[in-house]
Amino acid sequence: MEDNGRIIKTEYSEEMQKSFIDYAMSVIIARALPDVRDGLKPVQRRTLYDMYELGIRYDRPYRKSARIVGDTMGKYHPHGDSSIYDALVVMSQDFKKGMPLIDGHGNFGNIEGDGAAAMRYTEARLQKVTQEAFLADLDKDVVDFMPNFDETEKEPTVLPAKIPNFLVNGSEGIAVGMTTSTPPHNLSEVIDAVKAYMQDETISTRELMRYIKGPDFPTGGIVTNKDELLEIYETGTGKIKVRGKVEFEKLKGGKTNVVITEIPYPMIGMNIAKFLQDVAALSETKKTLDIVDISNQSSKEGIRIVIELKKDADPENFVNLLYKKTRLEDTFGVNMLAICDGRPETMGLKAILKASVDFQFQVATRKYTNLLAHEMEKKEIQEGLIKACNVIDLIIEILRGSKDRAMAKACLTEGKIDGIKFKTKESKIMATQLMFTEKQANAILDMRLYKLIGLEIEALINEHEETMANIYRYEDILERRDSMAQVIMNELDEYKKAYGRKRRTAIENAEEAVYKEKEVEETEVVFLMDRFGYAKTVETAVYERNKEAADAENRFVFTCKNTGKVCLFTDTGQLHTIKVMDLPFGKFRDKGTPIDNVSNFNSEKENIVYITSQTELNLRQVIFVTAHANCKLVDGGEFDVSKRTVAATKLEEGDKIVSVMSVLEQKNIILQTKEGFFLRFLLEEIPEKKKGAIGVRGMKLGPKDAVEKVYYTQNGIETSVEYKDKKLILNNLKAAKRDTKGTKIRV
């Protein structure tokens, strides 16, 4: 490492540790976490202060966001324009903030996840509450200022926020090794809690919750774990369960619409679209058959998501399904982490209120100390002017007799009369007795003649009386904590009256949603899958009417229970199970659905060898034959599994399954290899093994040969296949023993 031309040797790990800690602390303190005093991150604070400096007040015209962003970046926040604009946008969104701090004009995004327009199109100005409660007293030296990044400007270290913004607007941020996540709260409730704390600092968190019922999300909704909130507010961490608000609309014909009018706070943004997709998926995957239609009718007036249900549907049961399977019930993770006294700290409700109140007293002390000093200065000048009015003739004589301002000033402040010409001896004696202060003398010398009018003198006396009243009031506020507390509480009452609103989020203890699935009447259906992998089920009567076409057009055809499962064996040795209810059920000519869509089967990596119902498997043995000629019988009950995918057998390296078949009435098995060898032997020669076994060798193979096809025959029934364009009767093949070479067929 080089320092001023000198090479300094240092341990690499130590340098990395120091650099990482410096970086982490920079992110934690100066970027990602809010200050508990004003509830703002640095980028938010700088943006609001810059708007204040630019004069973009609530009662003045909007200004382009690009101007605000550019000025903020150039003066205070040199971290890129996107972070500043994003902060500005969020502070203007009433669906994210309980109390927006910026008044946005133009497209500032919406609750459904559409982003804001580019900063060159949008305009903004401060909200009235921001100007009054966050920025109003910056000219009274109430907070410390620090140099900006290039030391050409000054910026406040914290804004003199008069309300606990950390609670009202909440905060979310990701630092290094820590995150903050504070829900928004109701302004009126927070102000009531602050006043309660100021009146009794020993108040408990439980008592504070008489005022702050819980979070108040701008999206409304229902908090369902009321009893857990006390622990969350005591520790500063926990999980809040939030549900959307649902209403039922009765329609003609006995149908019901489920209408979602409020969504959980975590659903704002793109999660609304995800919710609609999840609801549609419930219907597609047959988790529910109650949905007729779903539409998003949300507008500027509010959220309105309408789900139309079938006539015989149970709306309440359906809503419970939405709570369990979608984000209509979600969790808001609470971690009330903020910068307190220069370091990150997870704070409970009482600690947050204490920090806010302490800050209010600090700000008020500095404010009224400054105001008192200003009034004392006014008092000094007013008393000087009043005194001067009483001897105005003498002062005029002094001014007319002086050669310059300095001579007159010296006479007024010190009684020096050297060089001054007086009309009378009495005036000269009186002049030596003058003892005005420096400020009083300057005020007298700067005084205009119209101030000598009677009404003006009377106004000066009234102003002096007002100044004295202010001094008495300010001294009382500074000397008595109760007086200062009353002033702070009066201000809070004004903010509550002007900006308070009713609670939007309901707080209750709700039972866990329980969805009762409708009992399906068990019937027998026919499974059909064509050579392209499209599968469906049809009624047995439909199959019987179309039996010839069904058998000819489909690769797999078998009967199964509609409440059962289908077992799919692949050449890679995997078993995929599919619920029959997940398959489309309908007309014979319906296309069906790709088998990949309803199972873990991947057609790009594996091939289907055999499909049958799990009910059938449970009653039979299953024959496995691989390309390496390994054979085994497995009890079908071993494949009655709950997992969607399991290993059906164990394979040697480079091996694959050629045939899987349920044992029915087969007596003989015939193995055919690539080089044209056929081996016929009795099925009873194959031993039964566990599904995890490789099996026994069924046929001796040449170095490059492999089993290609497997056939089965029954005694007394002729079975023939086409081999090299000629008919081959399998029953006529010479019977042999397992694990022999077989016979090569030449045609």
Q: How far apart are CA 26 and CA 18, in angstroms?
A: 12
| Strand spans (E) along 352-438 | none
DSSP 254: G
Beta bridge partners of 578: 566
Q: How far apart are CA 434 and CA 457, in angstroms?
A: 20
Instruction: Tally Cβ neighbours within 10 Å of residue 462.
Output: 10
Q: How far apart are CA 139 and CA 160, in angstroms?
A: 11
Contact 111, 219 (CB under 8 A): yes
Q: How far apart are CA 687 and CA 672, in angstroms?
A: 20
Instruction: Tally Cβ neighbours within 10 Å of residue 294.
Output: 17
Q: How far apart are CA 329 and CA 92, in angstroms?
A: 26
CA atoms 468, 469, 472, 475: torsion sign: negative
Contact 739, 697 (CB under 8 A): yes
Q: How far apart are CA 124 and CA 98, in angstroms?
A: 18
- List Cα–Cα distances, 171 to 182, 268, 342, 430, 503, in angstroms: 5, 15, 18, 69, 19
Active site residues: 121
582 residue type, one letter: D
- The values of phi and psi at residue 331, to 5°, are -120, 135
Taking CA 437 as the corner, what is the angle to CA 432 and CA 442, rounded to the nearest 5 degrees? 100
Q: How far apart are CA 688 and CA 737, in angstroms?
A: 17
Q: How far apart are CA 144 and CA 732, in angstroms?
A: 104
Q: What stretch of H or E contains 81?
A: helix 81-90
